[in-house]
Amino acid sequence: MNESETEKMISASAEGSDEAFSELVGFYLKPVFNFVYRMSGNAKDAEDITQEVFIKLWKNLKKYESGKNFKAWLFSIARNTAIDRLRKRKNINFSEFENEDSENYLIDSIVDAEPWPDELVIKAENFKMIEEFVDKLSVAYKEVIILRYKNQFTFEEIGKIIKKSTNTVKSQHRRALMALKKLLDATN
């Protein structure tokens, strides 16, 4: 969906078109779910957070400023909703990826199979190791890595999403990569 199509869908949705809103949800469901899943590390929480994100989107669509980056605006809602949920949760377990039976139909069918950047994949023995390493990062570093590599946001867009300066985002990104490198080096 290009920017003009997105703008048309947003306008139609804001005017009450259920069909247009369904198209927006259909287009952004997978990337939003993947992002909040990686933030929460838990499929059940990710489902609940994703649903809450799209409810908030529906309620606040008229507040969206035409011409702004819609995806960044939507991911700001997703990030804030995920952070709120994580704050409320007593035991935060970022490494939980599966249910008790090691299965989850929703995750198997919706999780994005895009690879991480080549430099990290080459250094790692497998993708699971990288996921485990990312989960060991602080929430601030983790969200920057996820937004940058899983969702292909620029540093400027990430700054808007997490409400930090571009330089702070770049610094967190660099520190996160150094932390990942340390973890990788420790395994070799």
The Cα–Cα gap between 50 and 54 comes to 6
67 or 26: which leads in pLDDT? 26
- Cα–Cα distance for residue pair 133/83, rounded to 1 Å: 20
Contacting residues for 112 by C-beta, under 8 A, at least 6 apart: 30, 31, 34, 150
Position 175 confidence tier, pLDDT thresholds 50, 70, 90:
very high
Residue 30 pLDDT exceeds 90: yes
Classify residue 168 by burial, with Cβ atoms within 10 Å: 0-12, 13-18, 19+.
middle
- Whole-angstrom distance, CA of residue 149 vs CA of residue 117: 7
Share of the chain above pLDDT 90, in %: 33
Per-residue model confidence (pLDDT) at position 104 = 52
Q: What is the pLDDT of residues 81-126, one digit of tens each?
A: 998 888 876 544 433 445 555 555 444 544 444 544 555 444 444 5
Query: 178 burial class (0-12, 13-18, 19+ CB within 10 angstroms)?
Result: exposed
Domains and CATH numbers, the chain: 1-109 (1.10.1740.10), 114-188 (1.10.10.10)
Q: What is the per-residue pLDDT for 68?
A: 86
127-173, pLDDT tens digit by residue?
Answer: 667 778 888 888 889 999 989 988 889 999 999 999 999 999 999 99
d(CA 23, CA 54): 12
Of 28, 50, 46, 25, nearest in space to 37 by CA: 46
pLDDT at 157: 93
Please name which of 175, 127, 181 lies closest in space to residue 150, comparing C-alpha atoms: 127
Number of Cβ within 10 Å of residue 64's Cβ equals: 17
C-beta of residue 74 within 8 angstroms of C-beta of residue 13: no
Residue-averaged pLDDT of the chain: 80
Question: What residue type is assigned to position 28 of the chain?
Answer: Y
pLDDT confidence of residue 134: 83
